[in-house]
Amino acid sequence: MCGIVGISNCADVSFSLYYALYALQHRGQESAGIATFNGSGLCKFKGNGLVSEVFSEATLSSLSGSVGIGHVRYPTTGENRPENIQPFLFSFRGHVIAIAHNGNLVNYRDLRTKFEDKGQIFWSTSDTEIISKIITEEIRKGGTIEDAVRKCMECLKGSYSVVMMYDGDLYAFRDPHGIRPLCFGKAGDSYIICSESVAIDALAGTLERDVYPGEMIHINQDGVRSKQIAEARHRGHCVFEYIYFARADSRLDGSLVYDVRRKIGAQISDDEPVKADVVCPVPDSGTAYAVGFSEQSGIPFKECLIKNRYMGRTFIMPTQKKREQAVRIKLNPIPDHLNNRSVVLVDDSIVRGTTSRRIIETMRDAGAQEIHMRIGSPIIKAPCYLGVDMPTRTELIGSDKDVEEVRKSITATSLHYLSVSALVEAIGIPQEDLCLGCLTGCYPVEITNEVCDNRCITIVDRDFQTNLFHH
């Protein structure tokens, strides 16, 4: 997963990008980068680490200009190479271009071979480089950026939310299924396009709306222009963004994530009532679910696991024999809240099951009598090919185990998952417009050896109004 942002018409744009990336940091902690256009060329700074580690006041000050893009990167492909840090920069016939991309292309290999057959060289293993090849190919043929985006929507299979600078012009587009989020807004005179609305909040701006799936937005000194390039029969918004990935205070495609989670918490209380002394979340991902569960069930909300707020990326793991204790450094159980109690433990999802089992063990060591696990998502059965770093089927505890088998494995007193239909209702988007691949094994795009409900894409080329903003 990654976070992207583009800002235009903004004095000190590098500082605004920095604050926006801070707000998107949860989408990627491996590397961060900013590129700006200073009127004649590109300035950039990229590095491994958190936004706070990569940038200094001096480096931000060196990134001049009033338009720029930024990126935080999560190691989807597992290849931590400097060339793969985004934004990607290149020049073509005197024009300078920078691209930042969130998503995953499932036909990367095919497209790469196709381009290599034309003699193109690849510097990186990132699929962002494929996008840059398509764009320059179209420009070389005399096309515009709009033509290039159209070509992308024809060729690319998978998820892609993209922000791009072409000299001083800012462009953004989102795949026709709208798999990864992308939205835009305004702060003062500046325009912001970003993965989640929290980046607009960080700049004290106002969210305008989500970028429509298949839409392209173009911002320069003449204003903000939009065009619907392509449409899919059905959208495919990723449900895992709501379940886990997005920040609770983000609005995604119309819904506030916190409230989706709170509603789910209430729902799982109704679905499978339980008598218990206390409702306790696995922090921080289970908190909003637990708040909803407590409110609906009337069982008091009380934190029983305290999270260490200082876990660095470089935490040194204990030796094997002490590994079991390691969970306590991250999540410390409070015996006073657990001893001889019956506890509802609420989390967003179970992936491998290892962490859940360890948490339950430490809670039982701390005296808990009953631990009723409640999960804010359906059972995860299948991998993600569209940008979430999910393990393979072999590692997914839910791929070949039923609920009772999972319960035994994690040693919970009882276990309940949310149903798919309840999830869909909580999100408030029709099921056919969601990607439920990891829950059902059926994906919105064709993937080799996987089932696909064909949501075919049509090029539409429909103009929107020239000025997108109501204000």
User: Residue 396 and residue 287: Cα distance in Å, rounded?
Assistant: 23
166 contributes a contact to a second copy by CB under 8 A: no
Radius of gyration of the chain (CA): 23
Site for a second copy in 270-329 (CB under 8 A): 284, 287-288, 291, 294-295, 300-303, 306, 308-316, 318-319, 325, 328-329
Site for a second copy in 135-164 (CB under 8 A): 136-137, 140-141
Cα dihedral: 208, 212, 214, 215 (round 10): -30
55 contributes a contact to a second copy by CB under 8 A: yes
How many residues interact with a second copy (rule CB under 8 A)? 81
Site for a second copy in 348-407 (CB under 8 A): none
Return the sign of the alpha-carbon dihedral for residues 387, 390, 393, 399.
Answer: negative
Q: Give the nearest distance from C-beta 441 to a second copy in angstroms.
A: 31
56 contributes a contact to a second copy by CB under 8 A: yes
99 contributes a contact to a second copy by CB under 8 A: no
Q: Which are the contacts of 250, defined by CB distance < 8 A and separation ≥ 6?
A: 181, 196, 197, 198, 256, 257
Which helix (H) or strand (E) is 110 found in, with range? helix 108-117
Estimate to the nearest angstrom the gap between the alpha carbon of 376 and the chain centroid.
18
209 contributes a contact to a second copy by CB under 8 A: no
Q: Give the nearest distance from C-beta 46 to a second copy in angstroms.
A: 9
Site for a second copy in 79-98 (CB under 8 A): 82, 89-93
262 contributes a contact to a second copy by CB under 8 A: yes
Beta carbon nearer to a second copy, 332 or 369: 332
Q: Give the nearest distance from C-beta 434 to a second copy in angstroms.
A: 21
204 contributes a contact to a second copy by CB under 8 A: yes
Q: Taking a C-beta distance cutoff of 8 angstroms, is the pair 123, 106 a contact?
A: no
User: Residue 384 and residue 381: Cα distance in Å, rounded?
Assistant: 10
* Cβ count near 87 (within 10 Å): 26
> Among 54-62, 158-166, 227-235, 385-393, which window interacts with a second copy (CB under 8 A)?
54-62
* Cβ count near 58 (within 10 Å): 8
Do the annotations mark residue 348 as ligand-binding? yes
The pair of structure tokens assigned to 166 is 């072409």
Do the annotations mark residue 463 as ligand-binding? no
Beta carbon nearer to a second copy, 399 or 411: 411
Do the annotations mark residue 438 as ligand-binding? yes
Q: Give the nearest distance from C-beta 294 to a second copy in angstroms.
A: 7
244 contributes a contact to a second copy by CB under 8 A: no
Query: Tokens 């909003």 — which residue?
Result: 288
101 contributes a contact to a second copy by CB under 8 A: no
Would you list the DSSP string of 214-259?
A: TEEEEEETTEEEEEEEEEESS--EEHHIIIIIS-TT-EETTEEHHH
Question: Pick from 39, 52, 400, 451: which binds a second copy (CB under 8 A)?
Answer: 52
26 contributes a contact to a second copy by CB under 8 A: yes
Estimate to the nearest angstrom the gap between the alpha carbon of 14 and the chain centroid.
22
12 contributes a contact to a second copy by CB under 8 A: yes
40 contributes a contact to a second copy by CB under 8 A: no
User: Residue 221 and residue 89: Cα distance in Å, rounded?
Assistant: 22
Active site residues: 2
Question: Pick from 35, 149, 178, 201: which binds a second copy (CB under 8 A)?
Answer: 201
